[in-house]
Amino acid sequence: MARGKLRIYLGAAPGVGKTYAMLAEAHRRVERGTDCVVGFVEHHDRPRTEVLLHGLEQVPRRELEYRGAAFTEMDVDAVLARRPAVALVDELAHTNVPGSRNPKRWQDVAELLAAGIDVVSTVNIQHLESLGDVVEAITGVRQRETVPDEIVRRADQIELVDMSPQALRRRMAHGNIYKPDKVDAALSNYFRPGNLTALRELALLWTADRVDEYLRQYRGEHNIRSTWQARERIVVGLTGGPEGRTLIRRASRLAEKGAGGEVLAVYIARSDGLTAASPKELAVQRTLVEDLGGTFHHVIGDDIPNALLEFARGVNSTQIVLGSSRRRTWQYVLGPGVGQTVARESGPDLDVHIVTHGEVAKGRGLPVARGARLGRSRIIGGWLVGVAGPVALALLLTHTDADLGLANDMLLFLALTVASALLGGFLPALASAAAGSLLLNWFFTPPLHRITIADPLNIVAIAVFFGVAMAVASVVDLAARRTHQAARLRAESEVLSYLAGSVLRGETSLDALLERVRETFSMESVALLERADGTEPWHRAAAVGPHPAARPEDADVDMPVGDHLALALTGRVLPAEDRR
C-alpha cells in the first residue's frame, strides 16, 4: 500500500489564514471529484472559516471526558474506516486529551498517512520543536504544544501562508481572529508588531531552507554543476593558519548583508597526509564558524584549487572567500598560488574575494613534522653525512693516486647525497648537493683550487650533478616519508582497534578508556574536563594518573572535544600527528 502524501499550510502566527486556505483547497478538490473529508477542523468561531466548512463531509468526532469536562478529538478509527482519499486535519501540533488513541495529533496524522490516506494540515512556525527557545525569547511565551521538525520537513508539500504584521493586526482589530474582549490584550502582548515581524522572518527563513533542500535534491538528481544564485552561500577556504579566523568573520559579515546567507568553512587536506594543519587551530576555527551560525567541512583532495571549486559548486555556492597568499615573493616562480588559480578557474558564476590579513607574505615556514618523524639521531646522522661526508670524500680522493675521472667522482658525491636523504631527509641532502658541487668545482675541475671552470662541458656536468642530486634526494625523501606515513597509519589503526576492543570487552568506563590513552601515548596523566558554558569553570569528568590538569591551559596537550569538553594530557608535548 502506497503511503499517503502530506501537505502542510505553514503560518507565522494565529489568524494568518491557514485553516481558511486549507478549506478552500478542500473545496477545489471536491469540485474536481476527489473524495475529501474533514477529520478535524476548528473554526474558533470565525464566521468566514465556519462558512467554508459547509458543503464538506465531516467525520463525527470522538467525545472524551477529562477532569469533569467534555472534550472532542478526531476519531482516528472512524477516519480509517471511512478511508477517504484526502482528510483535513487542523492544528498538527495539538496535544490530544488524555485517553485519546495517541498523545499528539501528528501521531494521528502519521497513522492516516501509513494507511494510504492523503492529509492536509496546518501548523504555526512557533510550534516547531527546534524553534521553541527562539520563540520564547521573542514573545516571552513558552509554546507547550510542539511538533518535531522532521515531521514537517518530511511533508510532500509545504505552503507558506503569509501576511504582513500590519494586515494581521487590522484583522485582529476588526474581530476576525479573537472575540472583541480579547483583542486589546492580544494586540498589546503577543501580537505586537515586533513579535509578528520576527515570527514572520522565522517562517520565511525556515521555508527558504526547505526550498533549498528541494533545490539541492533536484540539482543532484540532474547532475547540475553550475551555480544557481538562488541565495547567498559563502564558502571560506581555510589553510589551518591563524588568518582563518579573519576570513570566517569576514564571510559572516558578507552573509549578513543578504537575507538567509549561509557560511560554509572548508579545510582541504592532501590525501597523502604529508602536510597537515594544527589540529588545535582547526578546532578553534570550527568552534568560531559554528558560533557564527555556519558549518565546518573537512575535504580530502590533492589538487587544492580544484577540490575547493568542486566543493563550492557542489553546495551551490555563490561566493568564495580566500586569504591573501602567505607565499614569499620568490615562491611565485614556482607557479600561481591557490587564490589566483581559484579566481581564474571560478568562471562567471562564482565571485572570489581575496581578503588581506596579518600573515600576508610571511611564508608558511618549514614543516617541522617532517624532521620530527625521522628522529633526532637520524637527522644528526643525515647532516653529518651530508656536510662532513663530501669533505672527507674530497680529502680522500685528493690524497690518493687514484684518478677515477670527473664522472666517477660525481657518482661518489651523488651517493653521499642519496645517503644523507635516506638518513636525514631533504634538507641534509640539499646541503650535501651544494657542498658536493663546490668541492667538485674546487678540487676536480680545472683550474684547480679556484671557483671558476675553464671547460664549458664541466659547467654542464656540475649543473647536471646538482639537478640530479636534488631530484634523487626529493624522490628518496618522499619515498621515506610515504613509508613512514604508511607505518603510522598502520599503528593508528592498531591503536583504534585496541581501544575499540576494550569497549567491546566491557571496559566502558571513562577511567578505563583514559587509562588506555595514557598508556598508548606514554603520558603521566590524562583528564577529561567539562564545563556547562564558556563562562563556567572547568571540572574533571574523569582523570587517571598523578596530578591531572585542572584546566586545559595547565596541560602539555589540550585537545578540544566539542564546545564543553576538553582532553588534557600531561607528561610531554605531542607532535601534530599524535594529536589527531
- Look at residue 452 in the predicted model and tell me its pLDDT: 65
Q: Do 6-218 and 233-355 come out as alike in CATH topology?
A: yes
Q: At what angle do helices 426-444 and 376-383 cross, to 10 degrees?
A: 10
Per-residue b/e over 176-213, b at no fewer than 16 CB within 10 Å?
bbbeeeebeebeeebbbeebbebbbebbbebbeebebe
pLDDT of residue 332: 57
Q: What is the predicted pLDDT for the residue at 506?
A: 61
- Tell me, what's the pLDDT at 370? 40
183 — phi, psi (to 5°)?
-65, -50
Alpha-carbon torsion, ordered 170, 174, 176, 179, to 10 deg:
120
Given this model, what pLDDT does residue 372 score? 39
Of 528, 521, 565, nearest to 544 by C-alpha is 528
Closest CA to 303 of 262, 281, 335: 335
Continuous H helices in 384-509: 389-398, 406-424, 426-444, 456-504
Task: Annotate 467-499 with b (16+ C-beta within 10 A) or e (fewer).
Answer: eebbebbeebbeebbeeeeeeeeeeeeeeeeee
* From the candidate CATH numbers 3.30.70.920, 3.40.1710.10, 3.40.50.620, 3.10.20.340, the one assigned to the domain spanning 233-355: 3.40.50.620
Question: Apex CA 156: angle with CA 26 and CA 259, to 5°?
Answer: 105
Q: Which three cell numbers, joined as nine digits, stand for 209? A: 531552507
Going by DSSP bridges, is the β-strand pair 565-570/557-561 parallel, antiparallel, or unpaired? antiparallel
Query: Would you report the helix, strand and coil content of the chain in percent, each value rounded to 5?
Result: 50, 15, 35
**Kind plus residue range of the DSSP H or E element containing 57:** strand 57-58
d(CA 120, CA 414): 81
Classify 536 as helix, strand or coil.
coil
- Homologous superfamily of 6-218: P-loop containing nucleotide triphosphate hydrolases (3.40.50.300)
Is the Cα dihedral 386, 390, 393, 399 positive or negative? Answer: negative
- pLDDT for 348 equals 76
Q: What is the pLDDT of residue 46?
A: 84
pLDDT value of residue 425: 75
How confident is the model at residue 281, as a pLDDT? 80
Give dist(CA 6, CA 110) in Å, integer: 9
Residue 167 C-alpha cell reads as 494586515
Local confidence pLDDT in tens for the 580 residues of the chain: 788 999 999 998 888 989 999 999 999 999 999 999 999 998 888 888 889 999 899 999 998 988 888 899 999 999 999 999 999 999 999 999 998 889 999 999 999 999 999 999 999 998 988 888 888 888 888 888 889 888 888 898 999 998 888 998 888 888 778 877 788 788 888 888 888 888 888 888 788 777 766 666 666 666 665 556 556 789 999 888 888 888 998 888 888 776 557 899 988 876 555 455 667 788 888 888 888 888 888 777 767 888 888 888 877 788 899 988 776 655 555 566 788 888 888 877 788 888 887 666 555 543 333 443 555 777 888 888 888 888 888 888 887 766 777 778 778 888 888 888 778 777 888 888 888 878 877 777 777 777 666 666 667 767 777 777 777 767 776 776 677 667 667 766 766 776 676 666 665 567 777 877 776 777 888 999 988 776 678 888 888 888 888 888 888 888 877 767 888 888 877 765 566 6
Q: How far apart are CA 99 and CA 519, in angstroms?
A: 57
Q: Residue ranges per domain, the chain?
A: 6-218, 233-355, 373-480, 514-579
Nearest to 217 by CA among 316, 338, 113, 346: 316
Which ranges in 33-104 belong to alpha helices (H)?
47-53, 76-82
Sheet holding 6-11, edge to edge: 57-58, 36-40, 86-89, 118-124, 6-11, 157-161
pTM of this prediction?
A: 0.48
What pLDDT does residue 213 have? 65
- DSSP H/E element including 184: helix 180-188
H/E stretch holding 108 reads: helix 105-114
For residue 178, what pLDDT is reported?
80
Provide the pLDDT for residue 371.
41
Backbone angles phi, psi at 367, to 5 degrees: -65, 105
Residue 428 CA to residue 434 CA, distance in Å, equals 10
Nearest-5° angle of CA 187, CA 46, CA 70? 100
